[in-house]
Amino acid sequence: MSETGDGDTKSFVNIDRLVHEPARLTILAHLYVVESADFLFLMSQTDLTWGNLSSHLSKLEAAGYIEIEKKFKGKKPNTMLKITDKGRSALLDYREKMKRALDQLPE
């Protein structure tokens, strides 16, 4: 696919690659549907390993798509992950673009 592709292929070029990666897409989708979740919840829902999940979360946090709330429940640390407004719109935008691009493909 050409980087300078025009017409229909432009939709593919403009896809957010950070969201496009399947593991990150799954993480964002899960955080989108809940208000917040902890690390273990994401691990159980996405079937990602600890290390894998951590590295994807750091990329998403660096992009400002998720935020991490560090709290204490008594003396125990309780880390909750939350999707940001930027992350929400990135996911919806990604969905829209993919739908539009693939809908235009011939049968």
Residue ranges binding other proteins (CB under 8 A): 25, 29-30, 32-45, 50, 54-55, 57-58, 61, 68, 70, 76-81, 91, 95, 98-99, 102-103
Shortest CB 3 distance to other proteins, Å: 21
Q: How far is C-alpha 105 from the geometric centre of its chain's CA atoms?
A: 25
Query: Are the beta carbons of 59 and 18 closer than 8 angstroms?
Result: yes
Q: Which is nearer to other proteins, 55 or 84 (CB)?
A: 55
Query: Are the beta carbons of 45 and 34 closer than 8 angstroms?
Result: no
Structure token pair of residue 106: 């011939």
Q: Which is nearer to other proteins, 7 or 51 (CB)?
A: 51
